Copies of this chain bind each other. A is one copy, B any other.
Amino acid sequence: MSAVLAAEAASAPKPRASSSAAVVLLGTGVVGGAFLKLLNTPAAAALRLVGAANSRRQQTDPAQLADRALREKLRGQGDARDDAALLAALDASGAAVRVIVDATASAPLASRHVEWLARGYHVVTANKALAGGDLPGWRALQGAVAQGGRYGDSATVGAGLPVLSTLRRLRGCGDALLTLEGVFSGSLSYLFNQYDGSRPFSALLLEARERGYTEPDPRSDLSGEDVARKLLILARNAGFALRPDEVEVESLVPEPLRGVDVDAFLARLAELDEPLAARHAAAKARGGALRFLARLNQRGRARVGLVEVPAGHPATRLYGTDNQFALTTTRYNTQPLVIQGPGAGPEVTAQALLGDVLALL
């Protein structure tokens, strides 16, 4: 079979030979690092890295950019951060397609996306801060896209699971979203897929944190804010121009633990246990289970929080850090269109970024 595979690979979909792109990468954390690895694979042969930056340093020297240890070296070497020099490197590349890949979570960087689009650069991003930020920013983004700017946002929701593309495709065909429901956080998916009351929630949380499933400060996950941002992006793509404060968010972080520093929070983690144990027991007594769900209805009401779902609910059928997105539309109305799978992780997120860059060719 390998001969057949090799033969077929030659006719696999690929960028047209005539097109190539110059790429600047912002952010060399876990996602940016995975993206750099992908750039060194044959799938990215049409792409040329002309700049890379972390939050403090950057590199535009081709020899340095080709160094496999680029990410590590940027920690101590390179030029000071300077957007203008990165854009100049894109311009100097002579490439017709010039792409800025934002693999950070920086709000200041996201606030520049619209300007970059307006100046003719394409933006591909895992950074949710613009599309999932305030409404004027979203509207400015829509304006830039209407002027022909192309914005690759697959990595902002579900780490590239084909949710945004599907939603936009259905909408482009005149279909309308009736309800959207799902589990949009890998860490919260894991926690509630695992939590069965036999161990304290805090013990499970610490274990998840050690495995790298949560942010270093788990309150980023537990607050529901990350889920709310994803729901906001989906809702806006479904036609609901919601403000962030229109998404109702239930935080799992008790009020007294919200203002303290990370160490203090981790030291007092056991304060989470009793309320959750009580809710779990009550749900279990009724044959249900707890899941952290995001929901949008056809009137644009958006809510994120812990929900008791009945046995057999689709969200009870998830494993590991799976995300799940169930779309009921005018035409998908007998059963929802469901997309689920790993919705977090550097490798799939980086692949989503690469897919969006390749789609520009």
Which A residues contact B (CB, under 8 angstroms)? 1, 4-5, 7-9, 11-14, 38, 41-44, 139, 142-143, 145-146, 161-162, 165-166, 168-175, 236, 239-241, 299-300, 314, 317, 319-320, 322, 331-332, 334-342, 347-348, 351, 354-355, 358
Task: Say yes or no: B331 contacts A351, CB within 8 Å.
Answer: yes
Contact call A351/B175, Cβ cutoff below 8 A: yes
Q: Which residues of B contact A236 (CB under 8 A)?
A: 8
Contact among B1, B38, B139, B341 for A173, CB-based, below 8 A: B38
Contact of A240 among B8, B161, B317, B347 (CB under 8 A): B8
This protein's copies in its complex = 2
- Is there contact, CB below 8 Å, between A355 and B165? no
* Bound complex: CA A317 to CA B338 (Å): 12
Q: Would B351 and A341 count as touching, CB distance under 8 A? A: no
Q: Is the CB of B338 within 8 A of A171?
A: no
Task: Note all chain B residues with C-beta closer than 8 A to A241.
Answer: 4, 7-8
Chain B residues, Cβ within 8 Å of A358: 172-173
Please tell me if the beta carbons of A169 and B239 are within 8 angstroms of each other in the complex.
Answer: no
Q: B13 touching A171 by the CB < 8 A rule? A: yes
Q: Report if A9-B239 is in contact (Cβ < 8 Å); known contacts: A332-B348, A351-B175.
A: yes
Question: 30 A-B contacts, Cβ less than 8 Å apart?
Answer: A1-B240, A1-B299, A4-B240, A4-B241, A5-B240, A7-B241, A8-B239, A8-B240, A9-B239, A12-B171, A12-B172, A12-B239, A13-B168, A13-B172, A42-B174, A43-B174, A161-B337, A162-B162, A162-B165, A162-B166, A162-B169, A165-B165, A173-B351, A173-B354, A319-B335, A332-B341, A335-B341, A337-B340, A338-B338, A339-B339
A174 contacts across to B, CB distance below 8 A: 38, 41-44
- Name the contact of A172 in the complex, choosing from B8, B347, B355 (C-beta under 8 A): B355
